[in-house]
Amino acid sequence: MSSGRSRARELGVVVGALPTGSLNAITDVEGVLVGHTTIDDGADLHTGVTAVVPRPPRPLPAAVHTGNGYGKLVGSTQVDELGVLESPIVLTGTLSVFRAADAVLTYLMRAHPRGLSFNPLVGETNDGFLSDIRRRPITERHVLDALEGASGGLPAEGCVGAGTGTTALGFKAGIGTSSRQVEAGMPVTVGALVQANFGGVLTVRGVPMPVEELVPGAARVRPPGNSCVIVLATDAPLDARQLGRLARRAIFAMGRVGASYAHGSGDYAIAFSTATQRPVLPDAALDPVFAAVMDAVEEALLNSLFMATTTTGVHGHTSHAVPYDRLLAG
């Protein structure tokens, strides 16, 4: 699906000096797949499902960091307790998170017909500014389609899947992704995927770009903080404690693009490792991995905005795309 929109690098906005993977996406981490289901009726429904699916499925070292807990991340306490991820990660809209979790349970039960306990990990952001969330339109089939249709390659970004109805930093946002490759005693790839829906003032390479300046006459009605979910994947051999350190840096990176970290913003980062080799990297080797996380998340957030298109939704609310001419002139 072509939106006529461009990623940050295509616009000449380059974050940091570290090299990206070949796709500049979370799918640069081997074995990580992404799937979307989009619901957009052109009127009151702008929502969907995004699934991050590690292959082959197996318990993976993982951690969750909560920047601000005003949100719903189903299954996070068991990840905290055991330090492992045992399901795909699914993202959707706020009031559909519980139906999505039940659908992931169906998926896991089919994959493991003799299992007696499962821990779906499902996150959300509130897309109620543009979508009628009280209709709870997400069905089991929508979730299964995203999971079963997950693939490698460059994931769609912007107004797709769980990002169909999101708004960030005053502009239309959505799903974004990016990756970095570094040397940390061994070659390491770090990939990030974001569902961006949070408040603040868009900041690009240190320059604030308020929506009032880039879109003169933009509606004064603004959505509240509303949240961000960040998914990190890496092939670095790390344990759950170290992955928690990566997840914290992911939340820090939101500040680079102007996040306000508002009271009503549920900001979460989920990090997992696909590595099969051990032992884990020593902590002293993590500095380049931390840098990779910060840059990949920053660029993923910018991609989530730059790839999104202007959307008018429920109650006539409009969220404007970042205008490239004013962005590049700033």
Domain-by-domain residue ranges, the chain? 9-324
CA R_g for the chain: 18
Structure tokens at 148: 């079963």
Question: In this structure, are residues 58 and 222 in contact, taking their beta carbons and an 8 Å threshold?
Answer: no
Output the pLDDT for position 310: 96
Output the pLDDT for position 1: 43
Output the pLDDT for position 327: 84
Question: In this structure, are residues 204 and 187 in contact, taking their beta carbons and an 8 Å threshold?
Answer: no
| C-alpha span between 63 and 269 (Å, rounded) | 8
Question: In this structure, are residues 24 and 233 in contact, taking their beta carbons and an 8 Å threshold?
Answer: no
Write down the pTM of the prediction.
0.97
Output the pLDDT for position 16: 96
| C-alpha span between 50 and 35 (Å, rounded) | 6
Active-site residues, by number, are 227, 265, 267
Question: In this structure, are residues 319 and 311 in contact, taking their beta carbons and an 8 Å threshold?
Answer: yes
Q: Which residue has the tokens 């996070």?
A: 76
Output the pLDDT for position 57: 81
Output the pLDDT for position 221: 61
* Top-level class of domain 9-324: alpha beta
| C-alpha span between 330 and 269 (Å, rounded) | 30
What is the residue-level pLDDT of the chain in tens, covering all 330 positions?
Answer: 446 899 999 999 999 999 999 999 999 999 999 999 999 999 999 999 999 999 988 899 999 999 999 999 999 999 999 999 999 999 999 999 999 999 999 999 999 999 999 999 999 999 999 999 999 999 999 999 999 999 999 999 999 999 999 999 999 999 999 999 999 999 999 999 999 999 999 999 999 999 988 998 775 666 667 899 999 999 999 999 999 999 999 999 999 999 999 999 999 999 999 998 779 999 999 999 999 999 999 999 999 999 999 999 999 999 999 999 888 876
Question: HSE of 11 in the Cβ direction (CA atoms, 13 Å)?
Answer: 24
Output the pLDDT for position 278: 76
